[in-house]
Amino acid sequence: MADSIGKYGLTNTRDLGETVRAERNHIIQGKLYRSAELCHASPEGIEWIRNHVSRIIDLRTYREIKEKPDPWIKGVEYVHLPIMENLTPGVTHDDASYAREFINIVSDPDQAREYMLQVYRNMILNEYARKQYRKVIDLLMEERPLGTLWHCTAGKDRAGFAAVLVEELLDVPRDEIFADYMRTNLCRESETESMIQFFRARFSSGVDAEKGMRMLFDADPAYFSAWYLAATEAFGGMDSYICNGLGITGRQKEEFQRLYLRTAES
C-alpha cells in the first residue's frame, strides 16, 4: 500500500493492518496509519485521506508546521501534539535547525550517530515526550468511524516511535516491529537522496558529509535498539515503560487490543 499511495505525494504512509502482523491475531486494516509530512499530497492524496482517515495527529514542532502546514481537509479532525519542545537538527526538519549546528554534526559521522542515539534515548527519558506519547495513545483509544493517521516530517523518528508503542500494545513480535521501522528506508529512498543533494549544494563545508547525513536521515538498527535499551535502563523494559512511564494499565491495553485486533480466524 505504501508504494501505491506514495504516488499521491503521501510519502512513507502505510496501514499497519497491511504491513504488520500481531502475534496470533491480525491488526484491523484501515484503522492505524503512520506517515511522513502531508504537505506534498496531491489532489488524489487529499481525496485518499478524506476517504480513509477521520483524524490526523501531527507530531511536528510549531515551526515545522508553519513552514509546511498540512492541507486542510473537510471532515478530518486535526490534532497537534508536538513530541519535541526544541528544534532538533536531523529530526525536526525546519529551516532554522539546518544551520551551522547541522553541518557540525554531519561532518563527523561518529558524532552524527551518537547524536541520533541520544535523540532516540530522549524520546524515552524526556518527561515532556512521555506526556505527549501518552496523549497519542489516549486519542487512539477513542473509536473512530475511519482511521487515525499520525505523522512527523520523515515518518521515521517521532512517528516511528509512536508506531512502536502501538505495535507493542498490540503484541506485535519484536522482529515485525523492527522490520516496520526499517521499512522507512525503502519508502523514503528517493526523498533521502534528494535531501542529501540539497544539503551538498547548500552548504559548501569542504567535507563530504554524505555518511553523516545518512546517520541523521536513515533508519538504523542501533537507533531502534536505543529505544529499548533506554526503556530497560530507566524503567526495566519496554513493557514497564508503557505501564509506569506512560501510565497505561493492563485493562487499557486490553481495550486497545479490542479496538484494533481481530482473531486470525475471523
Q: How many domains does the chain have?
A: 1
Q: Is residue 103 in a domain?
A: yes
- Residue 116 φ then ψ, to 5°: -70, -35
Q: Is residue 214 in a domain?
A: yes
Q: Is residue 93 in a domain?
A: no
Note the pLDDT tens digit of each residue in 53-78.
999 999 999 888 998 999 999 999 99
Q: Is residue 94 in a domain?
A: no
Note the pLDDT tens digit of each residue in 201-232.
766 554 567 788 888 889 999 999 999 999 99
Cell 523492527 identifies what position? 178
Q: Is residue 235 in a domain?
A: yes
Q: Is residue 92 in a domain?
A: no
Average pLDDT, the chain: 89
For β-strands 53-58 and 25-27, DSSP reports them as unpaired
Enclosing domain of residue 72: 2-87+99-263
Measured distance CA(35)–CA(58) in Å, rounded:
10
Residues contacting 174, CB < 8 A, separation 6+ = none
Q: Is residue 187 in a domain?
A: yes
CATH number at residue 105: 3.90.190.10
Read off the pLDDT of each residue in 80-101 and give the average, rounded to a whole number: 66
Residue 78's nearest CA partner among 133, 24, 149, 20 is 149
